[in-house]
A and B are shown apart, each in its own frame.
Chain A
Amino acid sequence: MSTLFKVTNNVEDMQGKTVLVFLKPQNPQRNFLIHAWQVLTGSAGATETFSYEATISTDVSSAGEKAGNVIVSGRQIVLPGQLFAATSPGGLSPQLQQAPTSLALEKLTPEQCGVINQTNPFIQFNSNWYVNDRPVVSMPYVDANMTVSFEFLPHFYFMVATPPMVGQTYIVQNFSDMTVYEMPITATEVDVTLSKDKGLWSFDFNAS
C-alpha cells in the first residue's frame, strides 16, 4: 500500500533551506551513515509530494582494484526475514544472492532483512539499504562472515536544513533534532504543513 505525503511550506521565505525526511533504522549503530531519504526543495508557499511504500532493497559497495574506484553491486529487493549472501564469483566484486532460509532463521528476526559477507577471497564492503529505491542507511566495513540487519518502522523524521551535498550523510545523533511523525498504518494520505514562528520551524501532520 502506498501513502502520499503532501508537504506545504507555509512560510514566507525558506531562506535557502530544504525539508529533509529521514527513516530511522532500528537499533542503529554509531558508525551508521544515515542518508536523507527525501530532499524537498519546494519554495515558500509551494506544496511538494512524495510517496511511501514499504519496499526495501539493498546493495553493497566495495573498493575496486584501482584506488579510488567504487563498485556497487546489483540491487536486490528484500522482504523482512530474508537474508542475502554477498559472494565473489570468480574473484569478481561482491554479488548478492538469497541465502538459505535456515541461515536466515538463524541470523535474523522475522522483522529484519539482512546481508552476510560470504566473499571468498574476502572483500570488505558497505551494506546499503533503500526504501522505495531511495537510500536510508549505509552500514560500513562489513567483515568476513559478519551479518548486518536492517529494520525500520513507518516513523518519519522531518528536519529543515541546508540542502545536502552530493553523497552527504548524517549520523544517528542527528535524529534528536528532528520532528518525528508516526504514521497510522491505515493512512493513505498525509498532509504536512511547515510553518515558522519566532525562528522555530515546526511541522503539523494530518493523516487521512
Chain B
Amino acid sequence: MTIEFELANLNAEMVTLVFIANRQDQQPVRDCSQATVEQATFHYTPWQLVNASAGAREYFSYSDTLSVVVRPQSASAADTADHTDGQATIQPSALTRVAPGRRYLAFNGEHRLQIVDLGENKQNSAEICIVAAPANHTSGQLAVDWYQAGTRIGITEPLAPRTVASFVNSGVLLFQPVSPDQQRQRFTPDDLAHAWRYRTPSNALKVKASLRRGPEGNPDYAFVPASVSV
C-alpha cells in the first residue's frame, strides 16, 4: 500500500530528514542462542531529505516494501570492485526484496554474496531476518544495507557468521528537523530519540504534515490525520 505525503514548511529555514523506524534498532543482531550481539549496531540513514523552503510543499510517497544489499563490512554499498590490496574479495549482493515474517540466508556465491529465502519466520510475523551463513560459507564480517524504493534507510553491522540481522518495520516514520548545513548520512537510534514519530492510520492514503517554528524558535510538526499511538 502506498501513502502519499505532503510536507509543508510553513516558516522554518530547515530541512526535514525522514527515517523509517526499525523497532529492532537497539538489538539489531542476535546470535544462534537469541542473545543480542553487543558490538553490532544499527545506523539510520535518511530515507527522505525534504528541503522545501519556507512556504513550500514537498510531496513524497511511502510504501512498506523493503529490500536489502548484503556486503562485506569493509565495502560500501556502492562498491563494485572485486579486488582490495591485490586480494580477491566478494562483491555485494544484488538488491533483493525482502518480506516481513521471512528469514533469508546470506552466503558467498562464486563472485558475489547471494541471498536466498529460508522461509517463514515462525517467531515473529513482522520481523525480517538476514542470517549470515557459517564461517566456511562467508568471508568475514558482513553488513546489511536496508532499502526502501532504492533509497538506503539503515545499516546493520557487523554481521558475524551465524548471527541474524533483524528489521521490524511497524510503519513508524521519524521526522527530524536539521539546519541545511548540518546534514549527515548516519544517525544512531539515540540521535533520533527526540524525533517526531508518526504512524499513519490504517484507513488513510494521504497525509498532510507541516513544519512550523514556534514563537520561541522551536520547530514542531503537525499531522493530518493525527498519528496513531506509537
Which residues from chain A sit less than 8 Å from chain B, CB to CB?
A: 64-74, 88-95
CB-based contact A74/B55 at 8 Å: yes
In chain A, what residue has the closest Cβ to B5? A69
Chain B residues whose CB sits within 8 angstroms of the CB of A94 once the complex forms:
53, 56
Q: How far is the CA of A90 from the CA of B180 in the complex (A)?
A: 6
Given A66-B60, A69-B58, A72-B57: A92 and B48 interface contact (C-beta under 8 Å) = no
In the A-B complex, the 4 residue pairs with the closest CB atoms: A74-B55, A92-B53, A95-B53, A65-B49
Interface residues of B, CB < 8 Å — how many?
22
Contact of A92 among B59, B60, B180 (CB under 8 A): B180
CB-based contact A74/B48 at 8 Å: no
Within 8 A of A (CB), among B45-66: 48-61
Looking at chain A's contact residues, the main secondary structure is: loop
Whether B181 sits at the interface, judged by CB under 8 Å, is: yes
Known pairs A68-B61, A73-B55, A92-B54; list 6 more (Cβ under 8 Å).
Answer: A65-B48, A65-B51, A71-B58, A72-B56, A72-B57, A92-B53
Which residues from chain B sit less than 8 Å from chain A, CB to CB?
A: 9, 13, 15, 48-61, 150-151, 179-181
Q: How far is the CA of A91 from the CA of B9 in the complex (A)?
A: 14
In chain B, what residue has the closest Cβ to A90? B180
Quote the shortest CB–CB distance from B179 to chain A (angstroms): 8
Quote the shortest CB–CB distance from A126 to chain B (angstroms): 13
Quote the shortest CB–CB distance from A38 to chain B (angstroms): 24
Given A64-B60, A71-B58: A88 and B53 interface contact (C-beta under 8 Å) = yes
Given A65-B49, A66-B48, A69-B60: A92 and B15 interface contact (C-beta under 8 Å) = yes
